[in-house]
Amino acid sequence: MKVRRFLVFLTALVTVGAYAWVRQAVQGDAATDLHTIGAGGVVWGLYVVGDGFFASAALAMLAVACVMRVRRLRDMESVTRMALPLGIAGLLASLGCVMADLGRPMATMVNLPLVGRPHSPFFGTFTVVVGASLLATVVHLALASRPGWAERAHTAKRWWWLWRRLACGWKATASAKRRRERVDFWLSLALLPLLLGGFVILGIVFGVRAGRPAWQGAFAVVTFVVSGGAAGCSLLLLAAHASRRASVLLARALAVFTGLTVLLVVSGEILALRTPYLSVHRYARALLDGPWSRLFWTELGLLFLAGMVSLAMAWQKKVSIVLAAATALLSCAAVFLERFLVLVAWQTHGLGLPWPAGAYHPTSIEWSVLVGVTAAAMLVFLFLAKVCRAETGDAPAPASPAPTGRLLRSLVTAACLILGLAAAASGLALSAGFASAPFLDPILPGSPLVFLAGLFVMGLAAVAYELIPEREVRSGAKT
């Protein structure tokens, strides 16, 4: 009954957010507090802050899961199982925030895939951060869920045919288990550079600003990555609090990330006060004792509390649901404030131009849309966690070995990798303006889609390797 009430509550929040988005679509940006930079406002507000928060937390959780799979930490399997649906929900939430920020979202969805260029911030966020990372994570989660779906097909009284089709012929044979372990390892290893690249792209989008020296932009990118790790670890700690070993390791990691975030934020302010650049100095003063000082000191206080609580949990080697929830709330609120100040305060007080200082106060429409996106992400996570839960035992094994050999599987896997790499390289080169003048559109409309499709085909190599079976090894025989 409590779960149903919670689901109804989340659905109500999604409905409120959808209504607010419709009002914004009808009234335009007049329903928000977004204005022109230099005329007392900002052009990137609450929606873009939400995009940076959700995307960075999702990439951090997925990166943690990939590291655990690469290191083959079986004790952390509960964390990896939670990280995948959490990452998918976070990436979808970031996409929803971007769509809410765009004045003409449908025009963007049509024109960006046709004539997008790599130097545009939307190219990297839509292709690498959201597109490729989301598709690869969905493939990873679907393959990891096949054993659980096969078990449901044998035990469920209803919808058994659906679980059987989703399992795609999974049999708990020795060869199938070996392929499952290999795909987990290599797919996680291949996802790591993609996730780190997406992290760097987001850090550049949020950290590099006009009028800011190069060293401070690099400093902001590092702070963005580290604080994203703090938010991701806090959410994983809340999701995996039932596993004692996993919770202790995550609590230690969270203490490290929050401590580094505090150190980087404080060091950045000290360096900003000592720089000769007027725009940087004005931005630092706005955070320390200006109109944004309350949010800045609140951010530091929340980070300090989250770090102390996580350190205490790691020291006592005991994590409760209450402490995990409190730590997640403190960390996520602090990281959200950090994103807000880095993005918004720089537009109001950090530009290196002789413009008056501005202000930004999100309206109820903006808050309603953001809350609705958050609630929708929670519903997606609950749905995926319910549908893609791990199996409790092995489904019955077949009596005879599979008829297909290793040669076909190797050829199809290699073909997917080669074709995908060629398509991705071609799409990236054409999108960058290869064989066309810098001021012209790509000679091939849809080049970004070719790049994204190439990455997706490379991800299908894991599907081919796992779904195409090999002959079962018999005693005294070789594969």
Over the stretch 305-328, which tens digit does the pLDDT of each residue have?
998 988 888 888 777 788 888 888
**Looking at the structure, do residues 128 and 157 belong to the same domain, yes or no?**
yes
Over the stretch 389-447, which tens digit does the pLDDT of each residue have?
765 544 444 444 544 557 788 888 889 999 989 988 888 888 877 767 666 677 778 88
**Looking at the structure, do residues 296 and 311 belong to the same domain, yes or no?**
yes
**Looking at the structure, do residues 27 and 42 belong to the same domain, yes or no?**
yes
Over the stretch 111-127, which tens digit does the pLDDT of each residue have?
777 777 777 777 777 77
**Looking at the structure, do residues 100 and 84 belong to the same domain, yes or no?**
yes
**Looking at the structure, do residues 388 and 340 belong to the same domain, yes or no?**
no
**Looking at the structure, do residues 280 and 369 belong to the same domain, yes or no?**
no
**Looking at the structure, do residues 309 and 241 belong to the same domain, yes or no?**
yes
**Looking at the structure, do residues 186 and 232 belong to the same domain, yes or no?**
no
**Based on the structure, what is the number of domains in the chain?**
3
Over the stretch 126-171, which tens digit does the pLDDT of each residue have?
777 778 888 888 888 888 888 888 888 888 777 888 888 888 888 8
Q: How far is Cα 329 from Cα 235, in angstroms, rounded to an integer?
A: 9
| pLDDT for 167 | 85
Note whether residue 386 is domain-resident: yes
**Looking at the structure, do residues 420 and 336 belong to the same domain, yes or no?**
no
What is the CA angle 241-222-231, rounded to 5? 20
- What is the span of the domain harbouring residue 415? 407-432+446-464
Note whether residue 476 is domain-resident: no
**Looking at the structure, do residues 22 and 127 belong to the same domain, yes or no?**
yes
DSSP 348-415: HH--SSS---------HHHHHHHHHHHHHHHHHHHHHHHHTPPPSSPPPPPSS--S--HHHHHHHHHH
User: What is the end-to-end Cα distance of the chain in Å, rounded?
Assistant: 53
**Looking at the structure, do residues 233 and 182 belong to the same domain, yes or no?**
no
Note whether residue 477 is domain-resident: no
476, two tokens: 């005294």
**Looking at the structure, do residues 232 and 267 belong to the same domain, yes or no?**
yes
Note whether residue 136 is domain-resident: yes
Q: What is the pTM of this model?
A: 0.88
Over the stretch 5-38, which tens digit does the pLDDT of each residue have?
889 999 999 999 999 999 998 888 888 888 877 6
Note whether residue 455 is domain-resident: yes
